[in-house]
Structure 1
Amino acid sequence: MYRIIISQIIVICTFVFTTHNILAAGWEDENTPISFKLELLPWEEATQLIPKKTKFTLIDVETGLHFKVQRRAGNQHADVQPLTVKDTKIMKNIYGGNWSWKRRAVIVLVNDQMIAASMHGMPHGAGALQNKFPGHFCVHFYGSTTHRLKNEDPIHKLMIMKAAGKEKAYLYTLEPDQMIELLTKAINMRDSYLLKTIIPHGGTSACFKEQIKHVSYMSLLEPAQNKKDAGYFLAEVPVQAAFYSKKYGKQNKKFNIILTRYNVADGWQIKDISLCDELDIPRNINE
């Protein structure tokens, strides 16, 4: 994916570079006057690079598509607008033709610098440019906070780490409550990419993977209860969820999501739900 992104940057800058292996940590060409190195910059530094009215490029990490924007406002993150009608169309294409609050990992290209960031795709508030975009949208950097709650948005933070190539390492640092907070947001926003990021391909029970498909809403109830069992660490996080079961139909219940890790140096992994026994779904992933 970073090969695609760098190729887009080459086109944008109208320079022709020798092909390189692109690493998430960064890329530099010592034979040219421009150095592209992907940086995870805190908001206090990023905001200095893109003061209000600055025009820069956003590159979507997943698709490699890019479009130009202008920063219009924002004190703890950047409130930006697509620069032209063409840029609005590209942005909408990135979101599959529908505006959405879903966060996406992006790279900010300004001058000769690349900065890891996150954007959402929902027009809101005021807009000043003639671009057929009804308002502005938000771009978050490392340490950015929201206008209303004045705290870091956990999904924006995960997407910023994804843009920086540090997503897996970041997930490893999260406590059980933080993991389930991300899970609830992914479910409530119908964000399939985020679900795939949080729930690994292996190690999670068949029951959990099957039942989570039918959950329409979930909320975190209480802090996790941690304990050690049979040589590994286990945490149970209580949640309330609305879901559908083939056996019982529509349900609204409280239950525990179970996470495990084998030692304190490992990251927590979502494993199971306490409803598996009564839902008549195989618990083993291979069943």
Structure 2
Amino acid sequence: MKKLAVILFILSIFFELHATKFSGEALANLEFKIEMTPWDKVEELLPRNSNFTVIDVGTGKRFKVQRRAGSSHADVQPLTHHDTKIMKEIYGGEWSWMRRAVLIQSDNLLIAGSMHGMPHGAGAIQNGFPGHFCIHFKGSTTHKTQSPDLSHHLMILKAGGKLDSYLNGLAPKPLVDAFLAGIKNKDQDLIRRTITNRNADLKILNEIQAVKWQTSMVASKENSFIKEINADLKLHLNDKGPVSSRVSFTVVKTSPMAPWKVDESALIKLLKERKVVE
């Protein structure tokens, strides 16, 4: 009971501070703190057939899982029908590939991770979940690539309270990639952390069901505080279907020490024009 009370106390602080500029160091004086544990260590801490708790950062909901497989990340299954129900609630009642920031609680550990919510492949537990899903940790990769998935990487940083410091250190091109990853995952919190106007009306971004992109630098201007990044977008819009377009994003900073921020207005304008025309 004492261990559970301490964990609940930590989580209450975590969710309160995460809305501002939470840092994992904020918990250093407590018994537990959130760790950005690399995958090779996690694989030892959470071996196959081990059970642990997944805590969704966005909602605070938690459910139990069992690790079944996975060589570059953890392939896991909800432990019971009840756990499957909670997981589906986290995703709004529909399974999804969208990445979400999670904390993994096992014994006295809280480990930053990222999960998607799409059943796939095989599953061996009678839990109402048709397959397994994946949880990524620092340094994890997908089955198809040798480098970390960008969306998972950002969600791991978010779970660990290190997303702002990471974004603030990005150059213009990778910042636009992070902005587009936020759109891909319908994560308005991530989007707002990357843009010039954090209070912008972003409702029209909900028109985007899916997005793929390729970014490239435009020849540098004399003003060192303004950069242009081209993004070749392949969008799938609600009721409109596939749309391909090149959008030129302006990325700005207000001083030499200030972080870069993306001007989202070019994409907003494109979506509004498509909505009117079609």
| TM-score for the superposition, normalised by structure 1 | 0.75
Number of matched pairs: 258
2:135 pairs with 1:135: no
| Deviation for aligned residue 1:277 | 9.2
Cα distance change of structure 1 residues 53 and 187 upon mapping to structure 2, 3 Å threshold: same
| Deviation for aligned residue 1:193 | 4.5
Q: Distance in 2 between matches of 1:114 and 1:280?
A: 43
Name which of 74, 81, 94 aligns with 1:85.
Answer: 81
The alignment-based identity, stated in percent, is: 39
| Deviation for aligned residue 1:264 | 4.9
| Deviation for aligned residue 1:229 | 4.6
2:169 pairs with 1:173: yes
Name the counterpart of 2:217.
224
Q: Distance in 1 between matches of 2:269 and 2:8?
A: 58
2:44 pairs with 1:48: yes
Q: Find the structure with the greater CA-based Rg.
A: 1
The within-5 A match list for 1:257-276 is 257-272=249-264
Cα distance change of structure 1 residues 112 and 226 upon mapping to structure 2, 3 Å threshold: farther
| Deviation for aligned residue 1:210 | 7.9
Please state whether the residue corresponding to 1:227 is helix, strand or coil: coil
| Deviation for aligned residue 1:75 | 0.8
Please state whether the residue corresponding to 1:157 is helix, strand or coil: helix
Q: Distance in 2 between matches of 1:107 and 1:210?
A: 28
Structure 2 unmatched runs, 5+:
15-22, 237-241, 274-278
| Deviation for aligned residue 1:184 | 3.1
Cα distance change of structure 1 residues 242 and 81 upon mapping to structure 2, 3 Å threshold: closer
Name which of 114, 120, 123 aligns with 1:118.
Answer: 114
Name which of 70, 78, 89 aligns with 1:74.
Answer: 70
Name the counterpart of 2:20.
none
Q: Would you say the 8 A contact 2:120–2:130 is kept in 1?
A: yes
Cα distance change of structure 1 residues 45 and 126 upon mapping to structure 2, 3 Å threshold: same
2:59 pairs with 1:59: no
Structure 1 unmatched runs, 5+:
1-9, 245-249, 282-287
Cα distance change of structure 1 residues 120 and 18 upon mapping to structure 2, 3 Å threshold: closer
Name the counterpart of 2:17.
none
Q: Distance in 2 between matches of 1:72 and 1:279?
A: 42
- What amino acid sits opposite 1:154 in the alignment? L
| Deviation for aligned residue 1:58 | 0.8
Q: Distance in 1 between matches of 2:7 and 2:180?
A: 44
| Deviation for aligned residue 1:94 | 1.1
Q: Distance in 2 between matches of 1:125 and 1:132?
A: 14
Q: Would you say the 8 A contact 1:57–1:69 is kept in 2?
A: yes
Q: Distance in 2 between matches of 1:278 and 1:101?
A: 25
Q: Would you say the 8 A contact 2:67–2:75 is kept in 1?
A: yes
